[in-house]
């Protein structure tokens, strides 16, 4: 592990099984195992920048899983104790092409166990689902990214261009102690990146009757609404640093007879 000489705290979970019940392809079972393990690591972000970060254990787990198949991941704590991040690069066959960044966050919003039918940090697998805080936002995608990265390395696949994988802290509080800190203090980790894929890659919506969507494409920072609070956006003039500044699409469900402007 580059950048930190500590031994990851979690042990190997062993070969992937099929916890969904019945036979499942190896990659699917591996994703289930990784997602369940990650959910069981409590990485609650309460939004207070003065509290110790909770992402370290999850970042160490990710780094361990990458190192198992031959990667040399870089572990970095970003702007605060415990704000663990992991970045790794898989070289591509054409170094002249811009690198692709695939990023996900390790932190989750708070969860009250009394409001859950299963413990939010159990990672329980039941009824064909992996249950817990972060299953959707966004340890499920982190697990898929990790499984794909492990598969590419095991099979010796060189992608068409460099792949930079980033597993980040502090997204739920806006990323100041995560993505923003990294691009300000460790920009070399993202050298050559020209495109990025992350959490807001696409979504579906159901519009109420009598409302039309208005699509706005602009350079902004978006802080999504979650259980921790409402969403909000900043103007293009106030956009903050991120691993890659990119257009974000917003959908406004304004009444059909009302022009949407702001």
pLDDT in tens, 181-214: 999 999 999 999 999 998 865 455 555 665 554 4
**Confidence at residue 95, expressed as pLDDT on a 0 to 100 scale:** 86
Instruction: Look at residue 142 and tell me whether its pLDDT is greater than 50.
Output: yes
209 phi and psi, to 5 degrees?
-60, 140
User: For residue 129, what are the β-bridge partners?
Assistant: 126
What ranges do the domains of the chain cover? Answer: 26-200
Quickly count: other Cβ atoms within 10 Å of residue 182's Cβ: 26
The DSSP output letter for 79 is S
**Exposed/middle/buried for 53, CB within 10 Å: 0-12, 13-18, 19+?**
buried
Bridging pattern class, strands 99-105 and 163-168: parallel
What integer pLDDT is reported at residue 233 of this predicted model?
37
**pLDDT tens column, 79-107:** 889 999 999 999 999 989 999 999 999 99
* Parallel/antiparallel/unpaired status of strands 163-168 and 125-126: unpaired
pLDDT in tens, 218-245: 333 334 444 433 333 333 333 333 333 3
What angle separates helix 26-39 from helix 139-154, to the nearest 10 degrees? 130
Q: What is the pLDDT of residue 232?
A: 38
Tokens of 117: 């039918």
pTM above 0.75, yes or no: no
Q: 150-168: per-residue pLDDT in tens?
A: 999 999 999 999 999 999 9
**Can you tell me the distance from the alpha carbon of 118 to that of 214, in angstroms, rounded to the nearest whole number?**
38
pLDDT tens figures, 111-134: 999 999 999 999 999 988 999 999
How many alpha carbons lie under 13 Å from residue 186 in its C-beta half-sphere?
19
List helix spans (H) across 99-229.
139-154, 179-185
Model pLDDT, residue 128: 87
Q: Which CATH number fits domain 26-200: 3.40.630.10, 3.40.50.1950, 3.90.1010.10, 3.40.605.10?
A: 3.40.630.10
Pick the range with the lowest mean pLDDT from 6-10, 138-142, 172-176, 215-219. 6-10
Least confident among 7-21, 27-41, 143-157: 7-21
- How remote is the C-alpha of 194 from its chain's centroid? 19
Mean per-residue pLDDT, 168-176: 94
Residues paired with 2 in a beta bridge = 74
pLDDT at res. 210: 57
Please report which residue ranges of 94-154 form alpha helices under DSSP H: 139-154
Position 211 scores a pLDDT of 54
* Helix 56-68 vs helix 139-154: crossing angle, to nearest 10: 20
Average pLDDT, stretch 10-33?
57
Instruction: Give the active site residues.
Output: 107, 171
Assess contact for 124 and 40: CB atoms under 8 A: no
pLDDT at 141: 94
- In this predicted structure, the answer to whether residue 179 has a pLDDT above a threshold of 70 is yes
* CA 11/CA 53 separation, integer angstroms: 21
Query: Beta-carbon neighbour count of residue 151 at 10 Å?
Result: 14
Confidence band (pLDDT; 50, 70, 90) for 2? very low
């Amino acid at each position: 592990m580059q950048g930190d000489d500590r031994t990851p705290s979690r042990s190997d979970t062993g070969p992937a099984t099929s916890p969904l019940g019945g036979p499942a392809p190896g990659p699917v079972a591996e994703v289930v195992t990784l997602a369940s393990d990650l959910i069981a690591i409590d990485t609650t972000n309460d939004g207070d920048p003065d509290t110790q970060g909770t992402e370290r254990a999850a970042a160490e787990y990710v780094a361990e899983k990458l190192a198992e198949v031959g990667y040399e991941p870089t572990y970095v704590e970003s702007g605060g104790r415990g704000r663990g991040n992991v970045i790794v690069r898989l070289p591509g066959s054409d170094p002249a092409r811009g690198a692709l960044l695939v990023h996900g966050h390790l932190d989750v919003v708070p969860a009250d166990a009394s409001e859950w039918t299963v413990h939010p940090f159990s990672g329980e697998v039941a009824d064909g689902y992996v249950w817990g805080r972060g299953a959707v936002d966004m340890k499920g995608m982190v697990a898929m990214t990790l499984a794909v990265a492990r598969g590419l390395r095991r099979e010796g696949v060189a992608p068409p261009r460099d792949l930079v994988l980033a597993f980040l802290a502090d997204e739920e509080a806006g990323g100041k102690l995560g993505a923003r800190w990294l691009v300000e203090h460790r920009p070399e980790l993202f050298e050559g990146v020209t495109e990025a894929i992350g959490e807001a890659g696409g979504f579906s919506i159901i519009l109420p009757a009598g409302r039309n969507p208005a699509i706005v494409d602009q350079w902004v920072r978006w802080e999504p609404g979650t259980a921790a609070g409402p969403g909000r956006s900043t103007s293009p003039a106030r956009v903050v640093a991120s691993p890659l500044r990119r257009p974000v699409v917003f959908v406004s469900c304004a009444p059909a007879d009302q022009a949407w402007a702001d």
